[in-house]
Structure 1
């Protein structure tokens, strides 16, 4: 039946499958259907695209407008909800990518290591991917125990801990038991300390390489100890430094002042070869909190009193393990550097890793380590003239935001 003349014999149908209209060819033309001709089958085709008359189009448009007008509040509400959801999602994603920092910490957990780790754990913008342990202030076994004690008091035992090098690359091990206590944490008894069964089976060097490779360009490596693990890691994977976001080191000295030998700072003197390898093979952005800088940036003992007086489990833990350190600072040898204030050496390097704006003034020079001198083995060499012919320059901290540092330290024990 022809949709136009209502007589039989209509053979031209509509190409739109849902449309049931059919026409005689002349009727289709008069009804303003769009004719689709087939060069193979001839002029009379089996498919036409049905087009509504102008009146039908106007009627349909008017109906659509009435529908939209009646429901415009609903359309507007949906649009606003979608916009807000998209805006919120984009804002959250941007904030997270801007704020979140992935840290990997290498430590020989003495008192200032513990303070630095607690500072990082209290920072809202930090993800601590793991802690690798190394010889230094005490034995590597004690270091593992101490790290677990710190994580326990901070309710962060889910963070993986890895056991690393037990001795330097060359020479004999040294420790800082006179300052940190023989166990590294003030020799304060802790009957509820976690067991070493919580230490990961994977070795520290292997874990360091794996974690950095799993997060290329995102990890800041914070080295608070002798650099043995880092030196071994770069020898096993020379590409490792290029995948770091940055390297933050507490170690070295800039004025040949020593705290372990005449001219040697502890972390570098404990493994001079490792320090030499790291300062020469790690070509990534490198930030140094050196011994003299930390002494110049000490906090008043009054701050330390308020810091430890906070009514929290963390503060009570720190007060218990810190007694030995306070007594040790009164020794004649340490009077010159430490008696006038409280120095948490490792916390400066950690604060710089946590907050990019922490460093307010710095020098940039090529650096290396002296390996053969009778009195200077382990001393950091800062090339201010250019004799070393090194393109890579380390950022050597000179001044930092001390008010911000106080806030971060206080937050660490809250």
Structure 2
């Protein structure tokens, strides 16, 4: 049984990704850690607990993580158009009955990974601030993970937070650069480019999903209604880009990846137009050892089937 640790800034699409992992029979989610991002860390923690309850399977422990970026002010809570003020569509959801653990997420992760090296894979669905602090406080700990799959970056596409940067990367570029530089384990980046174009859930896809008898599927649609409305304005159609579920699908089924680039990879930390952009040395001009794999093409039909099969 594969053992997962999931780090999340729980907005609506993160919640869908958590539900997917909790309903996959091939993995065991050992713990969920939270970080600021889509919402403040306390709200992200409550949202993670809500998602766990809605999955209806089992309840891994949840640990609160960092509330601010490593160095600069993050973009947290700046744009309510994406997930609403509460990160879950402002539906007035009842608070979760589950409660978070008291131990800090960074302390928990260091203790757990060090106690069982080589046992865990990690999936990150938000900025990697918690992981950067692990790297700074306990060098070598991240290297004891089997793999880290991140929802991170844009591949060869434009950004969704700035013209060049994707939201999770732009939230804490310094943290991302620390992790890329120091992790010492397999890093897999799944970018926003793999959530749009042929990977979008079309209006017809969403209609069919709404018509199922699954309460979980309807919940997943309801908490992401803000994103559908935003996409109608930016793409001209009522479509849904499920960034975190796409990354989770790649973590659960790695053979969804049809093309990728393994190369020396860093994040831009100089303030300016490219702040938060990810540089992938795909031509190996730097002569540096490759440290990350950026996915560039997925099997779109299988990807959709994977996501749907986990939430219906």
TM-score (norm 2): 0.93
Q: What displacement does 1:190 show? A: 1.2
Question: 332, 335, 345: which is aligned to 2:235?
Answer: 335
Change (3 A) 1:139 1:300: same
Q: Does 1:105 align with 2:1?
A: no
Q: What is residue 321 of structure 1 aligned with on the other side? A: 223
Q: For residues 413 and 309 of structure 1, what CA distance do their matches in structure 2 show?
A: 13
Contact 2:89 2:224 in 1 (8 A): yes
Q: SS in structure 1 opposite 2:135? A: helix
Q: What displacement does 1:133 show? A: 0.3
Q: For residues 195 and 288 of structure 2, what CA distance do their matches in structure 1 show?
A: 26
Q: Does 1:141 align with 2:39?
A: no
Contact 1:309 1:315 in 2 (8 A): no
The Cα offsets for residues 303-331 of structure 1, whole Å up to 9 and x where unpaired, read as 12222332122123223322222112122
Higher RCO (C-alpha 8 Å, min separation 6): 2
Q: Which has the larger radius of gyration?
A: 1
Q: Does 1:396 align with 2:297?
A: no
Q: Does 1:188 align with 2:91?
A: yes
Q: For residues 198 and 251 of structure 1, what CA distance do their matches in structure 2 show?
A: 28
Q: Does 1:202 align with 2:202?
A: no
Q: SS in structure 2 opposite 1:324? A: helix
Change (3 A) 1:382 1:108: same
- Counting matched residue pairs gives 309
Q: For residues 372 and 320 of structure 1, what CA distance do their matches in structure 2 show?
A: 38
Change (3 A) 1:354 1:256: closer
Contact 1:295 1:343 in 2 (8 A): yes
Q: For residues 8 and 53 of structure 2, what CA distance do their matches in structure 1 show?
A: 16
Q: Does 1:361 align with 2:264?
A: no
Q: What is residue 290 of structure 1 aligned with on the other side? A: 191
Contact 2:231 2:238 in 1 (8 A): no
Q: For residues 264 and 168 of structure 1, what CA distance do their matches in structure 2 show?
A: 16
Q: SS in structure 1 opposite 2:196? A: helix
Contact 2:134 2:141 in 1 (8 A): yes
Q: SS in structure 2 opposite 1:131? A: strand
Q: Does 1:386 align with 2:288?
A: no
Q: Does 1:374 align with 2:272?
A: yes
Question: 22, 25, 30: which is aligned to 1:121?
Answer: 22
Q: For residues 81 and 108 of structure 2, what CA distance do their matches in structure 1 show?
A: 31
Question: 48, 51, 69: which is aligned to 1:168?
Answer: 69
Q: For residues 193 and 275 of structure 2, what CA distance do their matches in structure 1 show?
A: 17
Q: What is residue 33 of structure 2 aligned with on the other side? A: 132
Q: For residues 363 and 189 of structure 1, what CA distance do their matches in structure 2 show?
A: 43
Contact 2:228 2:239 in 1 (8 A): no
Consecutive unaligned residues of structure 2, counting only runs of 5 or more, are: none
Contact 1:104 1:129 in 2 (8 A): yes
Q: SS in structure 1 opposite 2:255? A: coil
Q: For residues 211 and 116 of structure 2, what CA distance do their matches in structure 1 show?
A: 39
Change (3 A) 1:318 1:199: same
Q: For residues 177 and 198 of structure 1, what CA distance do their matches in structure 2 show?
A: 26
Q: For residues 305 and 157 of structure 1, what CA distance do their matches in structure 2 show?
A: 29
Matches within 5 A, 1:213-362: 213-255=114-156, 257-296=158-197, 297-331=199-233, 334-335=234-235, 339=237, 341-362=239-260
Q: Does 1:211 align with 2:112?
A: yes
Two-structure CA RMSD over aligned residues (Å): 1.9
The Cα offsets for residues 179-210 of structure 1, whole Å up to 9 and x where unpaired, read as 1111111111112x215x71000111111222
Deviates more, 1:318-327 or 1:348-357: 318-327
Q: For residues 304 and 288 of structure 2, what CA distance do their matches in structure 1 show?
A: 36
Q: For residues 255 and 315 of structure 1, what CA distance do their matches in structure 2 show?
A: 31
TM-score (norm 1): 0.71
Change (3 A) 1:363 1:201: same
The Cα offsets for residues 71-105 of structure 1, whole Å up to 9 and x where unpaired, read as xxxxxxxxxxxxxxxxxxxxxxxxxxxxx211100
